[in-house]
Structure 1
C-alpha cells in the first residue's frame, strides 16, 4: 500500500526565501529516490510563509528508505531554526476507496 502524507510548517518571518531554497534542493534529491512517487512543494496562496509538501511513496519500505536517506538529517537540521514549529507537522493520509 502506498504511503501518502502532508508535511507542513511555517517559515519564520524573513526566512521564507532560505526555506524555499532548501526545499528546492531537497526535493530534487527526494524525487530521485526509487520508491518516491510524488514530492510536491507548495506555499499557501494567502500565507506564503506556510509550506505544504505532498509526498507519496511506493510503500512502507520506500518511506523508511526515505527517512534513512543520508541527506534527510542535514536538511532537517538546516530547516529547524528557520521554521516556527519544532519540526514538520506530518499528516498521514489513507485513500478513500
Structure 2
C-alpha cells in the first residue's frame, strides 16, 4: 500500500515538474511567437500596424507565381493563343 502511495506521489511530482518546465520554456520563447508541443507555431500578435499591412500588400512575390502546366500540346497552345488575342482589338464588331 505504501508503494502505491509513493507511485502516485512521484507521478504528481513529475507532472508538476513537467508543467513547470513547459511554463519556463514558454516564458523563454519570444513574446510574439510561441511553439507548442505539437510543433505548431502560434503568433500571439493580435493587431497589425498599418505599416506592416502596407508592406505585406506591396510584396506579393511569395503568393503569386506562374501556373505550372504540363507539357504543352497543340490544344493547350491553341487555347493560350486564343486567350492572348481575346481582348486585343476591342473596337472590332463581333457578329
TM-score (norm 2): 0.24
The structure with the greater share of residues assigned to strand is: 1
The structure with the greater share of residues assigned to helix is: 2
Find the structure with the greater CA-based Rg: 2
* Structure showing greater relative contact order (alpha-carbon pairs closer than 8 Å, 6 or more residues apart): 1
